[in-house]
Amino acid sequence: MRENFLKISIALLCLGGLWTGRDPGRWEPIELCTDRPIRARLRVRPGPGPGPAVVVLQGYYLRQEFLEDAALALYSSGLSVATVDLNRSRRPEEAIRALLDHLRRDPRLDPERLVLFAHSGSVTPSLRVLQQDSRLRGAVLLGFYPEPYRGRRPNNVLLAFGFFDDYITPEDMLGSLALTTDGPTPEKSEEVVGDFSSGSARRLVRSPLSNHGGEAFDPLLLAASADWYRLALPAQELRRPSPWRALRPPLRAATLAILALLLAPFLRWPWLGVAGFGLLSLAGFPDALWGAVALMLRQVGRKARRHLLALVAAVGSAIVLSWFAQVRGGNFFEWLAASAMYAFSYLPSQVHGLVLSHRGSWKYLVFLACLAGISVWLGRPKLQRRERACPGGDREETS
């Protein structure tokens, strides 16, 4: 009786992760067409007249839902919010431009008050778009320093990163910020230089709260972003994001991690625990990482053979992720496998911890790798059919 009760509790916990990550209604789907059909979404702020909007862009290999909480935090500040699935386009700049063109045709939005919010791998294509589109009023670029590009300087750029970011130093960010302007640049963090009306405003913000993965959910960086947009647009009606909205991701992740750590010793079905954290990736990737770390703390150091299997699983999952990056097509099985893979293969340590924590979970990983490979193969014809049905697309064949 007790064992059945615990199994039901774990299943409810998995569903709870999905429920806490959802936000009911009001997202409008958008179908874009570049080199292939692209999914995008729009959430329009209530209020009279055309208003400002921000395009929220996620990093490599991540679904657009990854930045759900960041998008909703910016929405709570008074901005309309749009997102786009860059991973389905081999030309992310074209996907961003297609979304911007769509937003400028929407009578509810002001075409002259659009800004970008980009994190990690989406910063580079965002910077290219900013340099080519002088109508964009500004951008917040988090967690990835831009490369030096020639051409027009982008309007009103804020670069932000977390103190614990492994990829970036303050010197890197200050040097990169200097490459985006011909005018003065900040000599230290938090300093604002330049003029918003001319597009030369620049600022560097460093938060003591986050690492690379958490920068887009950092309440300090989100508040700084809202302040920057209010000055760049201009939009005096904007306010700082709701503190509860900004703090919801880490609070939810910590709660789920603690529950998982408490219930893990009672698990008798290894596949249920692993599948549960696969489901959590649909609610939010940070939740899955916290859960994986919690499991990793449970049983470290058992049997050298399992360490080897963990390494094999980590390498295999990385290969599968590279398949997704190349094909980006999809059917239900690929979506299922990708969601589970995102939950415990972003870092080898998470995979290692899961294998150490659950007997037989490495078999589940191998099964998912095989399932993903078959799904990618089966998804190729569907991907090509979608490309042929896309009017005005390049109809490039996927190799």
Domain-by-domain residue ranges, the chain? Answer: 34-241, 250-388
> Can you spell out the DSSP letters for 132-191?
H-TT--EEEEESSPPP---SSPPSSEEEEEETT-SS--HHHHHHHHHHT-SS---SSTT-
**CA distance readout (Å), 361 to 281, 321, 336, 357:** 17, 19, 17, 8
Of 141, 129, 201, the closest CA to residue 172 belongs to 141
Residue 274's pLDDT is what? Answer: 42
Measured from the Cβ of residue 127, the count of other Cβ atoms closer than 10 Å reads 25
Residue 169's pLDDT is what? Answer: 76
How many distinct helices (H) and strands (E) make up the chain?
13, 9
For residue 42, the cross-strand partners are 28, 82
Please answer whether residues 83 and 40 qualify as being in contact, where contact means their C-beta atoms are separated by less than 8 angstroms: yes
Residue 186's pLDDT is what? Answer: 72
Q: Residue 351: how many CA atoms within 13 Å on its side-chain side?
A: 26
**CA distance readout (Å), 351 to 40, 258, 292, 334:** 31, 19, 8, 19
Residue 321's pLDDT is what? Answer: 44
Q: Which fold has domain 34-241?
A: Rossmann fold (3.40.50)
Please answer whether residues 315 and 366 qualify as being in contact, where contact means their C-beta atoms are separated by less than 8 angstroms: no
Distance from C-alpha of 297 to C-alpha of 312, rounded to nearest angstrom: 20
Residue 292's pLDDT is what? Answer: 46
Of 331, 376, 388, the closest CA to residue 35 belongs to 388
pTM exceeds cut of 0.75: no
User: Could you say which residues of the chain have pLDDT below 50?
Assistant: 10, 13-22, 24, 267-362, 364, 372, 375-376, 379-389, 393-399
Residue 295's pLDDT is what? Answer: 46
Tokens found for residue 40: 């995008």
Residue 263's pLDDT is what? Answer: 54
Residue 224's pLDDT is what? Answer: 92
Measured from the Cβ of residue 320, the count of other Cβ atoms closer than 10 Å reads 23
Of 187, 48, 198, 51, the closest CA to residue 113 belongs to 51
Tokens found for residue 11: 């299943």
Residues 6+ apart with CB under 8 A from 118: 57, 126, 139, 140, 141, 142
**Cα-trace Rg, the chain:** 22
